[in-house]
Amino acid sequence: MLLIPCPYCGERAENEFSYGGEAHKPRPEVPEEISDATWADYVFLQKNTKGTYYERWIHSHGCRRWFNLVRDTLTHEIHGAYRMGEAPPKVDEKTYV
């Protein structure tokens, strides 16, 4: 089980949290003017990096706040958590292919 450092509550077990997918994914400004393919790309496709990944989590059984997490999707190493709107921590990014 992951031990996730909620920026508000501190380290808690993974089962208190829910996953929110890729972070820092800009929503198209005017969705009705883009093609279905571009919209589908935004809605359904994620980078899904095998390595360092920036992702959203919500502490749904705790403070009920969304925040961002930097996690290695292969090793499960957690590099840090930061609040919405904050800049991500400097991380030595890795990608395993």
Partner 1 sequence: MPEATEPLTAASPLAAVWEPGEHGRIGPQGPGVTFTERRDLTLASFQARRAGVEALAGAASENLGLALPGPNDSTAGDGLSLIWVGLDRWLAVAADTNGPALLQRLGEALGETAAVADQSHGEYVLQLEGPQVRDVLMRATPVDVHPTAFPVGRVVSTVMNHTSVQLWRTQAERYLVVVHRGFARDLFKFLTTMSRDVGYRLP
- Alpha carbon distance 28, 12 (integer Å): 34
Among 25, 50, 61, 76, binds partner 1 (CB under 8 A): 61
Residue range at the interface with partner 1 (CB under 8 A); choices 1-9, 19-27, 38-46, 84-92:
1-9
Does 79 bind partner 1 (CB under 8 A)? Our answer is no
Does 13 bind partner 1 (CB under 8 A)? Our answer is yes
Does 97 bind partner 1 (CB under 8 A)? Our answer is no
- Alpha carbon distance 26, 69 (integer Å): 17
- Alpha carbon distance 17, 3 (integer Å): 10
Residue range at the interface with partner 1 (CB under 8 A); choices 29-37, 38-46, 48-56, 57-65:
57-65
Ramachandran quadrant class, 93 (left: phi over 0; alpha: psi -120 to 50; beta: rest): beta
For partner 1, the closer of residues 6 and 53 by Cβ is: 6
Tokens representing 72 are 């290695």
